[in-house]
Amino acid sequence: MLQIKKISKQYITGDLVQTALNKVNLNFRDNEFVAILGPSGSGKTTLLNIIGGLDHYDSGDLIINNISTQKYKDRDWDSYRNHTIGFVFQSYNLIPHQTILSNVELALTISGISKRERKDRAKEALEKVGLGTQLHKKPSQLSGGQMQRVAIARALVNNPDILLADEPTGALDTETSIQVMDLLKEVAKDRLVIMVTHNPELAEEYATRIVKLKDGNIVGDTKPFHVNPESTPKAVHKNMGKTSMKIKTSLSLSFNNLRAKKGRTFLTAFAGSIGIIGIALILSFSNGVNEYIENIQRDTMASYPITIEAQSIDLSSIMGEEMMGGRIKKEVSHDLDSVYSNSSSLEMVNRLTSSFTENNLTEFKKYLDDENNKIREQLGKNGVKYSYDVAFDVYAKNADDTIIDTNTNAFSLKPETSSTSGALGQFQDSMRSMVPAGGMGSSQTFGEMLPGTEGDLVSSVVKDSYDLLYGAWPQNYDEVVLVLDQNNEIPTTALYALGLIPTEQYDAIMKSMETGEEFEVETFHYSYDEICQQEFYLIPACDYYVKNEDGTFHSVKGDKLKLETLLKDAITLHVTGVIRPMEEAKNANITSAIGYTNALTDYIIDYANNSEVVAAQLANKEVNVLNGMEFAPEEDAARVADARNYIEKLGVSDKAKLWSELAAKMYANNPEQLQGIASLGEVQLAAMADEYFSSADDEVFLMLYDNYISVGSYDSNMSAFGFVSLDAPSSISIYADTFEAKEAIGDFITEYNSSVEEAYQITYTDFVAIMTSSITTIINVISYVLIAFVAVSLIVSSIMIGIITYISVLERTKEIGILRAIGASKHNISQVFNAETGIVGLLSGTLGVGISCLILIPCNALLRSLLGSAEVNATLPAISAVILIALSVILTLIGGFIPAKKAARKDLVSALRSE
């Protein structure tokens, strides 16, 4: 039993208050066919909507089977609509993109009924209305009458107690109207049917009761139903239970909807994907560019190390000054009125000495080699490379077959010209004073070039700074290059040292210089080919030490005859190329005339460390292999024995020399005796010495040992033999792979410097910084620009996706109304729409990523042809692709969330009215 008690409803539009229903009282039997008649605007639809729970009354009560609806919440109304009410509209209100079967199923879907049962019941309902054969047609493929019958089937499928029909035949012709009325009459056999119509004839013919409305009041009732208030129990509140729709159902509902509207879905997804494509492309390009930059970094860093030399000169501090007459040219800052001092030459020397730094590489190597040192994490794949100084001499053969020591200071070639007197001598002295001990590499004819990496003998630092004029870079330990200056020149002295200028001609020049004669220095000139014909003969220091019969060794250095034999076994070096500094090259800092590779160094180290003399010294670290004496004997007896032994072995002239020295001291107070000794010859002196020593006691020998005999030291011996200790490199090259790593290494060195004493602090050369100081900034700018692009396109695409989803949701307001009318809750609606936007998001994300990948193919081809290399290759990383798809889903969900919420909240009646 349905009771309407004093229900009123007013519509307020602006100032206008429209009373649609005015305290209407009406009771319905459980089983009757009621027709409601009345003029337009009399409140019929309002009444029906209120009964159907589509609209809510302002006051009064709607009582169904003794349950008051006064306290109903949204949830209860949803359930009420779904279970108790079936609704048939004048305009059918079918969902156009679903088949009629699905349309009918929908009401069951919302009730949470299983798929099988849903299908069976929907089919049954459709068969009942005579449409059993058209199940899979879309509403648009049916006639008006058929559509209305589908609507009736949908209304009945839940087997509701009440069927409401609002002008169901209003849009139908007479014939189909009759069919629909017949159907309704049939339906009314076992339930309450309330039908609004303004066709009195149809009402008369089919309805069992006619209620007339006018201006919101009941003005007539052919079969009123009076309920005795006393006999009926008081209406109570009771929940109706709720409609339930599983997420799976909403997903499949949305999926079906999307599938039904393939074209539209695709377009929406495509529109949404454009933003994703934008981001994907920019990500791909920035990824490609980043990879390219990283490769460049790695390449650059791989070949340009940070180097630390044991001894180094900051040449730039000297080179920066303009020189004039051996002095630094300066602005005069005083008046020209009295006498002033000029200290520029002092400054020059000071500049030279202060720009010269010594680094304790042994300590630093310990620091670097420490396993736990964090600096090791920053090292690149080339790691740390150590270079060592080796002891050797190189000789060249002149055109006239004279042998020349290439390392001889050119000015002191001839002992007779190297006297400290004369202009040349003075000049030499001043030169020496300017060059610190151990000094500038320029005084050496042979120098090692910075080693390369990955088996390359010559570093890219060198190769990128020098033009190879002729021949090839060294490939082997015995190959060297000739280093020219910017003007293809080599100092005349160096050319002589290399054996290229014949001795005769060079002597003539020297002679002219010595005598101060005016002369014109000839310009010597050699073809590259000629230069490359020249051979050099390298003798490692250890080879100078020849074994004596007693097992000790002696040096044959300076012995011309022995040199001949040594040269026969010498390592022959070949000049394979000629190089010249490039214009503006910043790292062209080879100072020697000949550059050799560290393969030669390694070879010589190996050779020396395995030589007989080194092996002998290593075998007995206590005894000097050069004289058989103990380095540091503790007992006097041993020292006395050593001293006796030493004197015994002395040659005549050495013995005579020692004796005259001793005698000078012994007879210091006796000038006559001294004079006598001075007049003696070597042989006589030696004889005197022998006589003296034969009778001398241990005291004398101890004195001799302490004052006249130099035993030497193990270390000095080893270094003279050319033995190289791996603890003491002459230079360290540290390679990083990235700029950041290099910066970090720089920081570590700074930290190291602040942690050690001043003597251990080191200075280093950063080749990359010199080379590419601006590249880092450029790379950073590029990275920031790319990030900015990505950020902007992200924002743009979010907005785009949001708008598209919003529009698509708004477009479906009517559908929302229908769903609500058949019992879907607001939550169900949001759920369905969120599921749908989620699917669209997934689709646009996938589409976007897919399209981007396709677009990248021609883009990369274009890049390749533009750049002429495949170095920049734009690719979308898999992880980014996944993130982008997820992002697209999230963005569409956000974009759709608000409109879906809004749509769900929409007033049901107006949602239904919207087109």
User: Which among 10-18, 653-661, 792-800, 847-855 is the span making contact with ligand ADP, rule CB under 6 A?
Assistant: 10-18
Structure tokens at 840: 């669209």
Q: Select 639 or 820, whichever has its Cβ closest to ligand ADP.
A: 820
Closest-by-Cβ residue to Mg ion is 45
CA distance 657 to 663: 10
| Mode of pairing for the β-strands spanning 67-68 and 59-64 | antiparallel
CA separation (Å) from 757 to 745, 753, 867?
20, 8, 52
CA distance 541 to 525: 33
Does residue 40 bind ligand ADP (CB under 6 A)?
yes
Under 8 Å CB-to-CB from 758, ≥6 apart: which residues? none
Q: Select 48 or 887, whichever has its Cβ closest to ligand ADP.
A: 48
Q: How far is the CB of 199 from ligand ADP (least distance, A)?
A: 14
Q: Considering only residues 299-338, where is the footprint of ligand ADP by CB under 6 A? A: none
User: Which among 12-20, 56-64, 245-253, 366-374 is the span making contact with ligand ADP, rule CB under 6 A?
Assistant: 12-20
Closest CA to 300 of 190, 393, 200, 382: 382
Does residue 15 bind ligand ADP (CB under 6 A)?
no
DSSP 8-state symbol, 25: E
User: Which among 44-52, 105-113, 340-348, 453-461 is the span making contact with ligand ADP, rule CB under 6 A?
Assistant: 44-52
User: Which among 24-32, 42-50, 352-360, 504-512 is the span making contact with ligand ADP, rule CB under 6 A?
Assistant: 42-50
Q: Which does 42 bind (CB under 5 to 8 A by kind): Mg ion, ligand ADP, none?
A: ligand ADP
Displacement of CA 13 from its chain's centroid (Å)? 63
Q: If you search the block for the tokens 């708004």, which residue do you land on?
A: 810
Closest CA to 158 of 86, 222, 228, 227: 86
Of 4, 43, 139, 424, which one interacts with ligand ADP (CB under 6 A)? 43
Of 2, 4, 7, 20, which one interacts with ligand ADP (CB under 6 A)? 20
Q: How far is the CB of 45 from Mg ion (least distance, A)?
A: 3
Q: By the 8 A CB rule, do 59 and 7 touch? A: yes
Beta strands in 80-230 (DSSP E): 85-88, 162-166, 192-196, 209-214, 217-221
Reported as type and span, the H/E element at residue 423 is helix 422-434
Q: Select 38 or 288, whichever has its Cβ closest to ligand ADP.
A: 38
Structure tokens at 21: 């229903």
Interface size with ligand ADP, residues (CB under 6 A): 13
Q: Select 131 or 213, whichever has its Cβ closest to Mg ion.
A: 213
Of 3, 46, 303, 307, which one interacts with ligand ADP (CB under 6 A)? 46
Q: Select 45 or 587, whichever has its Cβ closest to ligand ADP.
A: 45
User: Which among 11-19, 152-160, 586-594, 693-701 is the span making contact with ligand ADP, rule CB under 6 A?
Assistant: 11-19
Does residue 45 bind ligand ADP (CB under 6 A)?
yes
Q: How far is the CB of 170 from Mg ion (least distance, A)?
A: 9
Does residue 708 bind ligand ADP (CB under 6 A)?
no
User: Which among 13-21, 88-96, 389-397, 633-641 is the span making contact with ligand ADP, rule CB under 6 A?
Assistant: 13-21
Reported as type and span, the H/E element at residue 512 is helix 503-515
Does residue 11 bind ligand ADP (CB under 6 A)?
yes
CA distance 24 to 9: 9
Q: Select 46 or 852, whichever has its Cβ closest to ligand ADP.
A: 46
Q: How far is the CB of 243 from Mg ion (least distance, A)?
A: 27
Neighbours of 841 (CB within 10 A): 28
Q: Which does 43 bind (CB under 5 to 8 A by kind): Mg ion, ligand ADP, none?
A: ligand ADP
Q: How far is the CB of 90 from ligand ADP (least distance, A)?
A: 10
Of 7, 38, 581, 840, which one interacts with ligand ADP (CB under 6 A)? 38
Q: Select 40 or 231, whichever has its Cβ closest to Mg ion.
A: 40
Q: How far is the CB of 268 from ligand ADP (least distance, A)?
A: 31
Reported as type and span, the H/E element at residue 28 is strand 16-28
Q: Select 51 or 685, whichever has its Cβ closest to ligand ADP.
A: 51
Report DSSP letters for 753-782, one per residue: HHHS-GGG----EEHHHHHHTTHHHHHHHH
AA identity, residue 681: G
Q: By the 8 A CB rule, do 392 and 480 touch? A: no
Does residue 44 bind ligand ADP (CB under 6 A)?
yes
Neighbours of 206 (CB within 10 A): 19
| Mode of pairing for the β-strands spanning 209-214 and 33-37 | parallel
User: Which among 23-31, 38-46, 444-452, 694-702 is the span making contact with ligand ADP, rule CB under 6 A?
Assistant: 38-46
Q: How far is the CB of 17 from ligand ADP (least distance, A)?
A: 10
Does residue 231 bind ligand ADP (CB under 6 A)?
no
The three-state secondary structure class of 77 is helix
User: Which among 35-43, 420-428, 483-491, 789-797 is the span making contact with ligand ADP, rule CB under 6 A?
Assistant: 35-43
CA distance 668 to 292: 84
Where does this chain bind Mg ion (CB under 5 A)?
A: 45
Angle at 660 between CA 658 and CA 665, to 5 degrees: 100
Q: Which does 38 bind (CB under 5 to 8 A by kind): Mg ion, ligand ADP, none?
A: ligand ADP
Q: Which does 733 bind (CB under 5 to 8 A by kind): Mg ion, ligand ADP, none?
A: none
Structure tokens at 688: 């005197």
Q: Which does 46 bind (CB under 5 to 8 A by kind): ligand ADP, Mg ion, none?
A: ligand ADP
CA distance 243 to 265: 29
Does residue 892 bind ligand ADP (CB under 6 A)?
no
Q: How far is the CB of 90 from Mg ion (least distance, A)?
A: 8
Q: Select 67 or 816, whichever has its Cβ closest to ligand ADP.
A: 816
Does residue 18 bind ligand ADP (CB under 6 A)?
yes
Q: Select 42 or 382, whichever has its Cβ closest to Mg ion.
A: 42
Neighbours of 34 (CB within 10 A): 24
Q: At what angle do helices 247-260 and 826-867 cross, to 10 degrees?
A: 60
CA distance 725 to 391: 12
Q: How far is the CB of 87 from Mg ion (least distance, A)?
A: 13
Does residue 817 bind ligand ADP (CB under 6 A)?
no
Q: By the 8 A CB rule, do 650 and 634 touch? A: no
Q: Select 45 or 428, whichever has its Cβ closest to Mg ion.
A: 45
DSSP 8-state symbol, 89: -
Q: Select 89 or 764, whichever has its Cβ closest to Mg ion.
A: 89
Q: Select 38 or 581, whichever has its Cβ closest to ligand ADP.
A: 38
The three-state secondary structure class of 78 is helix
Q: Is 130 exposed, middle or buried (0-12, 13-18, 19+ CB in 10 A)?
A: middle
Q: How far is the CB of 92 from ligand ADP (least distance, A)?
A: 17
Q: Select 522 or 907, whichever has its Cβ closest to Mg ion.
A: 907
Dihedral, 178, 180, 181, 185 alpha carbons, nearest 10: 140
Does residue 52 bind ligand ADP (CB under 6 A)?
no
Structure tokens at 716: 């000095």
Q: Select 213 or 822, whichever has its Cβ closest to Mg ion.
A: 213
Beta strands in 215-359 (DSSP E): 217-221, 236-237, 306-309, 311-313, 323-324, 327-328, 356-358
Of 7, 24, 33, 42, which one interacts with ligand ADP (CB under 6 A)? 42
Q: Select 47 or 129, whichever has its Cβ closest to Mg ion.
A: 47
Q: Select 42 or 611, whichever has its Cβ closest to ligand ADP.
A: 42
| Mode of pairing for the β-strands spanning 2-13 and 16-28 | antiparallel
Q: How far is the CB of 219 from Mg ion (least distance, A)?
A: 17
Q: Which residues bind ligand ADP (CB under 6 A)?
A: 11, 13, 18, 20, 38, 40-46, 909
